[in-house]
Amino acid sequence: MLQQVGSHGPFSVAKTLSAAAALAGLAGSVAAPVALAQSSGAAALNAPQPSIAAIACSSACPAAGTVERGGTVTLSGQRLDAASTVVFLGGRGTRDDARVRVSASDPAQLDVRVPATARSGQVVVTTAAGVATQSKTVSIRIVRASSTTPSAKLLVPVLAPVEGVAQLDAGIATRRAGKGASAAAIAFVSHAPSAVAVRVDVVSVDDGLSIFDETRIAAPEQPQTLTWEGKGSLAGAVALDGRYEVRISTGPASGARTVFAGYDGAAMGGAAPQGSPAPAGAARLGGFTFVGAVFPVAGTHNFGQGEARFGMGRVGHSHEGQDVLTACGTPIVAAQSGVVKQKAFQSAAGNYVVIGSTASGEDNMYAHFRAPAVVARGARVQTGQVIGYAGDTGSASACHLHFEIWTAPGWYSGGRPIDPLPTLKAWEKRG
């Protein structure tokens, strides 16, 4: 995930020094940081200083070596627990420098949220004494966040005191997918002197009913995190697309148990959840729009007709999917989160991949990629994640995506293909 770059010579040094000077509120003289270090005494000069060996994207990573603004990068090195500020240098001069205050306890790793004003380039770590250390041989490419690019993984929720719930800190973070979120992470820590039961509810904004709840026993000062991805306790059941909010409450630990609300139905993005009101006094942590699936072609497209339709005759078989015409190289994304069950090349399908949905139990098959899928067999993929690019490999006369939906238990393993066009049109309508 790293971009290896060469030394920028004298500019690299001047850039580092001017960044440290700005952080210390000093004049722009390149000698200012040195003077600051000297004025802090021999202890500051002789103290071990941080060093940066690598920079890697850890969330919101659209491609290798890149991170979106608002995502997270992990600095690896030594003595990083001494860092007080991280500066994203950008280009020449200090006008585009973006600074982030940090606090870390791990000397080997430091996670940093990329600010909205950050630009691509090297990184500087400064200590409270004003000593600056530059990444020198490694940098990170920073790109603008896209509304359709998902985070590689859920961000870590930021904990804060919960208003109305004594001695509890909590927070939520979501994973982006299309125009909404495909998952939410909820983290909490109790500061009560003894164990308490912490209940988390996911509540539908439309009717105020809790469609999911989980209760955990929280020991004092022991952080916990749970993840909700729209899946119910009944096999194949998922939540309706729509607005939800997370609520949290506490109670006595004695007799508490984990409880999951039930659902009625099993269609992806179309199940009618059954729930009950959240406990009285539950505090609202935040809200989001849940999206169970997205359209798999991330670009201009049209639905093929005639021979491109499901069920049309082929030599020795019938067409088991729907063709979606698009330009060569258009990104193809995972319509639903799941696990890559198959990745291969076949004379008719070309480069193809099969992904099993962890929510519905159905399989989605994507064919005719211009090159092998960019995800590995067995990998866990998220809704909206790029899995390949449209092509015309195999038996194809033009670039397009051949898309299939197989009922559980899946593709050529006991399931059967169904016409995907109504589902594709529904996903297209949602955007």
Three-class secondary structure assignment of 116-166: CCCCCECEEEEECCCCEEECCCEEEEEECCCCCCCCCCCCCCCCEECCCCC
pLDDT at 253: 86
pLDDT at 153: 57
Whether the CA torsion 210, 229, 149, 100 is positive or negative: it is positive
Write the CA distances from 206 to 92, 211, 245, 279, integer angstroms.
51, 11, 10, 17
Say which residues have a Cβ less than 8 Å from residue 90's Cβ, sequence separation at least 6. 96, 97, 98, 118, 119, 120, 121
What the chain holds in terms of domains, given with CATH numbers, is: 3-143 (2.60.40.10), 160-290 (2.60.40), 301-430 (2.70.70.10)
pTM for this prediction:
0.55
pLDDT in tens, the chain (431 residues): 323 223 333 333 334 333 333 333 323 333 333 333 344 445 555 566 888 988 988 766 766 678 888 778 888 889 999 999 999 998 888 888 999 988 878 888 888 888 888 899 999 999 988 888 888 788 888 887 554 444 445 677 889 999 999 999 999 998 888 778 888 999 999 999 999 999 999 999 988 888 888 899 999 999 999 988 887 545 455 688 889 999 999 999 886 555 444 333 333 344 444 567 888 889 999 999 998 889 999 999 999 888 889 878 776 678 899 999 999 999 999 998 889 999 999 999 999 999 998 767 899 999 999 999 999 999 888 888 889 999 999 999 899 999 999 999 999 999 999 999 999 998 888 76
> By CB neighbour count within 10 A (0-12 exposed, 13-18 middle, 19+ buried), where does 315 fall?
exposed
User: At 192, is the secondary structure helix, strand, or coil?
Assistant: coil
